A = this chain, B = another copy of it.
Amino acid sequence: MGARDVGLPEHLPRSGELPAEVTIWEVGPRDGLQNEAATVPVDVKLEFLDRLADAGLTTLEATSFVHPKWVPQLADAEELLSRLDRRTGARYPVLVPNARGLDRAVDAGIADIAVFASATESFAKRNLNSTYDEQFAMFEPVIARARGEGMAVRGYLSMCFGDPWEGVVDPGQVVAAGRRLLDAGCGQLSLGDTIGVATPGQVDRLVDAFAAAGVGVDALAVHFHDTYGQALSNTLAALRRGVATVDSSAGGLGGCPYAESATGNLATEDLVWMLDGLGVRHGADLDALVTTSTWMAQRLGRPSPSRVVRALAG
């Protein structure tokens, strides 16, 4: 008899301080696959997206318009989007790095895009080849044009807690960067712990700092990496502060369990297990997710780093 047969965690009351419902922003097809060594065929990506939608996920970050030179794993973005069965009621955001990326998004008929900025000067230079200020100068017209096209725009903010070159990142610095993205027209910020070093007290302080600056939890999402095993604890802290959008990756895609460093995203299944136990609604079906991630792990030729997938896939 498997542990799944325990019937946990479906029948528990919701803790009072948590949001009644959480939006799972599924990043596996984009953030997950772009960090896998293997390039997945477009047919597999399409089946993956279909299966995730079948599992009840309604926000599926589908691909990226970053230049294929930088992300060859997602070079098939146009083909994928042209063949994608976009479900009614579901959103399929696409990452857009610059004006050229926005052109591609417009051509593809995309309704939701995401841009990405850095909360630190060092990472802006290394990831975007721009200064901290230049990145906003680059994004502002892109966001304005996207909004003019009727698109919704999310702003990813990297290095919100720690930065490999700058150490601990001051919440005030993150709030200032976030305000610029919101002022430019982003409807939501995704606060990223890009190197996975954050701990829950930092999450509390950052959400509180945004609140003090007039940015409520409705405008915030969180994006944690599990490099140091902290992703779900940090998510719990954010939920208990009222954050109701959580980024995660089906099967923990993007982190290889055989690598010395498992730098992947929070696994959607591990998040769903916790949400079910906490009585927080999310709309996803855990068994369908596990089946999908098991199937994808077979495509990638290695086990999933998700603990729930490994426990239930037997």
Q: Which residues of A contact B (CB under 8 A)?
A: 1, 3, 5-9, 11-15, 161-165, 167-168, 195-202, 204, 226-230, 232-233, 235-237, 257-263, 267, 270, 273-274, 276-279, 303, 306-308, 310-311, 313-314
Contact = CB atoms under 8 A, between A and B. Distances in A.
B229 A199 contact: no
A262 to B, nearest CB: 6
Given A195-B3, A273-B228, A310 B259 contact: yes
Contacts of A262: 307, 310-311
A5 B3 CA distance: 39
A9 B1 CA distance: 41
Nearest to A273: B228
14 contacts: A3-B164, A6-B168, A8-B161, A12-B168, A12-B201, A196-B311, A199-B278, A227-B311, A229-B273, A257-B257, A259-B310, A260-B314, A261-B310, A262-B310
A164 B308 contact: no
Which residue among A227, A273, A306, A311 has the maximum number of chain B CB atoms within 10 Å of its CB? A311
B168 A11 contact: yes
Contacts of A257: 257
Given A13-B201, A199-B278, A162 B6 contact: yes
A252 B3 CA distance: 20
B1 A274 contact: no
A201 B14 contact: yes
Contact of A236 (B12, B200, B277, B311): B200
A16 to B, nearest CB: 10
Contacts of A313: 260
A170 to B, nearest CB: 11
